[in-house]
Structure 1
């Protein structure tokens, strides 16, 4: 998310090189990243850096998969969310081509609706996303920050229209959960719930991708305390179980969280943001960690 803004282009490319060298596959970004960090007030910086990296590394495009999103790009610099692009057909048609141009590629492997747009008929949005696939611009589609019922309605519409539908759902999800019913200060974030987890578990071919999977470093960094809305007894109990399992495995708390996400039911695809090589290596090494049934039971018990 911070590539090209908080993380400079040179560092971003070094991280992408290390990612590819370690066998990394999915690179997740969005057309709006990161308009709030750039003086222009308009996004596209992350896609641009990734595109420059792809262009400078012949052959690497066939080794990685690109995931990007449309919905939040400001149409008037400095005026967000009131000027955020929606999910109308003209917006999607334009945005997918602009993303391809910045990414310097001929296809997007997974194209997401970044958030709902209830001012546009769902039929129009679904048809436009299907058009991106039929035109060969996107290979697969997903819905980020959408309610499960809304995703299922969109998939039904896609079947009726005979177009490609969403096969991935992206939500905020981690081992720790905020207090039930809390209003998140991060505008637009939608939490994974028991219902959305059950939906993904029950629908063949549907994946759940989790952003903020490591809660901005709060599991391991004293300078990144958990936000106030995580202050409840369930957090205390879960952190104790997490510390126990981390000590037993010799892994970091971050690595146990990632193993818990990827090895659960349903298995979750965690999105990890990094700004240093050691953070990237920590995430890759977590993919080798296998939790025992007993360790998972202890992690799941506290709530």
Structure 2
């Protein structure tokens, strides 16, 4: 699997990040270990989790995914070969509570230590601000994250579910204070474009402004979560989620399926390949509940989209 530089961090991450959201809960230990082993053997080194995964699953309080990864890395003795990403900010203060921990100094300092314990490690490679906590000053959040970098608990920081204006504000604050700066954004991003009035709650979809910014700044990496929308692209009778019901979507879907057929690939594989070969490049967070799904995802790495096909895929306006 090809690896890419996470700019200004000294780290090389695999083209795909393995999304571990349900590992240790809905996906049991045996299957989780099989998926992790297969991903690692395929050259994948980039694992994605969060301190709140998966609090919404029955019987879970958050941290189950981190605990499973800690157990796997300990058994496989491969922590030094893994780029480990986790997140802070979106965990409920109590299970099922609607009030989230946020990104205050107190919350971050508490949660980093708990994540390290569950992950059975003494450092996190990439630590994300999981949401934009507008009730906490950016200065407080960024100074706290910088402190974690300085003491060696964190190697690099990123953000998720931020609007571009807040990203730019955060980067300006970090620069003016000589603090660690967000090196990447993990955002909701897929081939379909959401409606202008789409509401994803705390989740934020990559918009035209963010895409343009990432196109112009190679030192700021775009990571894509929910790239396949739960496999909807491959379902012949799929009903589009309300947030994606636009006049141009069927045209995009037909184009996607036509190019996929030309390449002998599935629509899912083409989307993942498109993300890696488009500009700006987006590194997908891929999820799987069994080896068949993971194998399909990995098959995208062998696709080569020519310039004419890429132009067709990008032919429908973003707006």
TM-score under structure 1 normalisation? 0.95
User: What stretches of structure 1 of length at least 5 have no aligned partner?
Assistant: none
Deviations 1:208-240 (Å, cap 9, x if unpaired)?
Answer: 001000111111145864313322221100011
How do 1:227-238 and structure 2 match up within 5 A? 227-238=241-252
How do 1:64-79 and structure 2 match up within 5 A? 64-79=82-97
Q: How far apart, CA to CA, are the structure 1 residues paired with 2:178 and 2:196?
A: 39
Q: How far apart, CA to CA, are the structure 2 residues paired with 1:120 and 1:146?
A: 14
Structure of greater relative contact order (alpha carbons < 8 Å, 6+ residues apart) = 2
The aligned counterpart of 2:196 is: 180
Is the CA contact (8 Å cut-off) linking 1:241 and 1:302 kept in structure 2?
Answer: no
User: What stretches of structure 2 of length at least 5 have no aligned partner?
Assistant: 1-20
- Secondary structure at the counterpart of residue 142 of structure 1: strand
The aligned counterpart of 2:149 is: 133
Number of residues of Structure 1 aligned to a counterpart in Structure 2: 297
- Between Structure 1 and Structure 2, which shows a larger proportion of strand residues? 2
Q: How far apart, CA to CA, are the structure 1 residues paired with 2:190 and 2:279?
A: 14
Q: How far apart, CA to CA, are the structure 1 residues paired with 2:305 and 2:127?
A: 32
How do 1:10-89 and structure 2 match up within 5 A? 10-40=30-60, 42-58=61-77, 60-80=78-98, 82=99, 84-89=100-105
Aligned with residue 240 of structure 2, among 215, 220, 226: 226
* Offset at residue 39 of structure 1 (A): 2.0
Matched, 1:208 2:226: no
Q: How far apart, CA to CA, are the structure 2 residues paired with 1:127 and 1:49?
A: 30
How do 1:64-213 and structure 2 match up within 5 A? 64-80=82-98, 82=99, 84-184=100-200, 187-213=201-227
Is the CA contact (8 Å cut-off) linking 1:20 and 1:63 kept in structure 2?
Answer: no
* Offset at residue 98 of structure 1 (A): 1.0
* Offset at residue 43 of structure 1 (A): 0.4
TM-score under structure 2 normalisation? 0.90
Q: How far apart, CA to CA, are the structure 1 residues paired with 2:85 and 2:315?
A: 34
